[in-house]
Amino acid sequence: MSLHVYNTLSRQKEKFEPIKPPFVGMYLCGPTVYGDPHLGHARSAVTFDIVYRYLVHLGYKVRYVRNITDVGHLENDADEGDDKIAKKARLEQLEPMEVAQAYTNNYHRDMDMLNVKRPSIEPRATGHIIEQIESIQKIIKNGYAYEAEGSIYFDVEAYHKKFNYGILSGRVIEDLRSNTRDLDGQSEKRSPLDFALWKKANPEHIMRWNSPWGSGFPGWHIECTAMAAKYLGDRFDIHGGGMDLTFPHHECEIAQSEASVGTSPAKYWMHNNMITIDGKKMGKSYGNFINLQEFFDGSHTFLEQAYSPMTIRLYILQAQYRSTLDISNTSLKAAQVAFRKLLNTYKTLPKISYTEQETKDDKFQAEIQKAIDLAYEGMNDDFNTGIALSAMFAMSGFINQFFTGQKPTGAVPKELFDKLVHTYTVFFTDVLGFVEENYISSESTVTSLLEIYKDAKEAKAYDKVDQIRALLKKEGVAVKDMKGKVDWAYEV
Ligand code: ZN
């Protein structure tokens, strides 16, 4: 089965066929560098990290662009209000770029901890003002934008006469019209549906640039249109983002591209769903807002303990990216156990060697092959990482049977054994993007204690054996006492 992707634009799963294989251009709306990076940021970044990783795994040459929004994102997500970054800069007497850089650093720190790969290009909106002005000029020239009092607005009504405003989000323009408050006479817009491409800066506005229309700053939507076109061309393969960006942000991006260069920018539009906490939407206004550092150190009152970055990563991957993801302590603890199990298996791989034998176990062979196939089937079905993880657990079970000696490795052909080890390794590291985490203070102490354990066992000093076992358990280490050998694993 080849890769199929759910396309928000067509509202169905489509076979993935890049415009110019083997090249794939992919754009993800990155963070607005405001506030602490939270689980919502992580879900979007991890979702598209998986898309990126899997496409690379399949052999595509991917150019992955993820922007940094450091201007133009106004407080109420509309065309009025303070710029979020400028406001913080003013309050804390900082240079706006200082604020943006500090947030960017935190974002990188947290995403690195989650082992999210950095994009190929990470452009900043403030570094692309000229490109944005040029895009706006094209839109004006083509008759889809107008100037009013030094600001430029996109003319949605004029656009909709020729194109379909609502093509992506499924919104109907008549409904949008009736749901939008009438202009109060103060607004410069021709229609309340129109959105800003360029805003005139008030005297107190600190983030401002010169433009053909006077001193001002770009609207939020135009940056992605300008930067995606610059680095990926007018037409590229994948555009991603959180579901909350579908409207207005992505709808506006399509309109801006059609209006400036006459083409819809992306072939496939992918959107990850939102996070809920105990069934309720997560957000600052809901008082249940947990940032990533609080997960990692367990400091938020909602959390019963700290959860490691890989626990969070696995937690995100358990759900298909298009379904909502609910967090609770119970399910986070289950994710911790699940990751430690997968990690324990990963650590045993170098300790298993293949020994040829004549009698083969056909049923066992078929089961292993089925698990390997399932891992790919899951990923090929719109990046269903939940299925891929269940395949990982099945593979982990087979590997453990080999490791403990329950099954001789020779029960399957060497080719299949190697394939199992290879698939498990590649999925653990490259495809699902896990890294080893260390939960013990000293591995050499554990190894020394295990030596004493073995001696005590040989001397039949069972009190001492139990003592050491209990001591190690307290340190988070489980003793694995197997036929002819003793080893350790992380307590799950
Ligand atoms: Zn964007």
Instruction: Report all structural domains of the chain as residue ranges with CATH numbers, in order of start.
Output: 4-272 (3.40.50.620), 277-431 (1.10.730), 443-490 (no CATH)
Distance 152 CA to ligand 1 centre (A): 19
The predicted structure's pLDDT at residue 168: 97
The predicted structure's pLDDT at residue 330: 95
Do the strands 61-66 and 23-28 form a parallel or antiparallel pair, or are they unpaired? parallel
Query: What is this structure's pTM?
Result: 0.95
Report how far residue 408's alpha carbon sits from residue 403's, in angstroms, rounded to the nearest whole number: 9
Contact 255/165 with Cβ under 8 angstroms? yes
Q: Chain centroid to CA 125: how far?
A: 21
Distance 97 CA to ligand 1 centre (A): 19
Phi, psi of 156, deg, nearest 5: -65, -40
Task: Return the SS3 of 214.
Answer: coil
Report how far residue 47's alpha carbon sits from residue 51's, in angstroms, rounded to the nearest whole number: 7
Token couple for 111: 């995403």
Report how far residue 94's alpha carbon sits from residue 86's, in angstroms, rounded to the nearest whole number: 9
How would you write the pLDDT of the chain (492 residues) with one tens digit per residue? 799 999 999 999 999 999 999 999 999 999 887 778 999 999 999 999 999 999 999 999 999 999 999 886 665 555 666 777 777 788 888 888 888 899 999 999 999 999 999 999 999 999 999 999 999 999 999 999 999 999 999 999 999 999 999 999 999 998 888 877 665 556 789 999 999 999 999 888 888 999 999 999 999 899 999 999 999 999 999 999 999 999 999 999 999 999 999 999 999 999 999 999 888 877 666 667 899 999 999 999 999 999 999 999 999 999 999 999 999 999 999 999 999 999 999 999 999 999 999 999 999 999 999 999 999 999 999 999 999 999 999 999 999 999 999 999 999 999 999 999 999 999 999 999 999 999 998 889 999 999 999 999 999 999 999 999 999 999 999 999 998 899 999 999
The predicted structure's pLDDT at residue 337: 98
Distance 245 CA to ligand 1 centre (A): 8
pLDDT tens profile 82-109: 777 777 788 888 888 888 899 999 999 9
Distance 171 CA to ligand 1 centre (A): 19
Distance 250 CA to ligand 1 centre (A): 7
Distance 46 CA to ligand 1 centre (A): 17
Distance 45 CA to ligand 1 centre (A): 13
Residues near ion ligand 1 (CB < 5 Å) are 29, 224
Distance 295 CA to ligand 1 centre (A): 27
Distance 378 CA to ligand 1 centre (A): 28
CA 123, 128, 134, 136 torsion: positive or negative?
positive
Distance 31 CA to ligand 1 centre (A): 9
Distance 362 CA to ligand 1 centre (A): 52
Phi, psi of 92, deg, nearest 5: -100, 10
Report how far residue 195's alpha carbon sits from residue 274's, in angstroms, rounded to the nearest whole number: 25
Residue 99: count of CB within 10 angstroms of its CB = 22
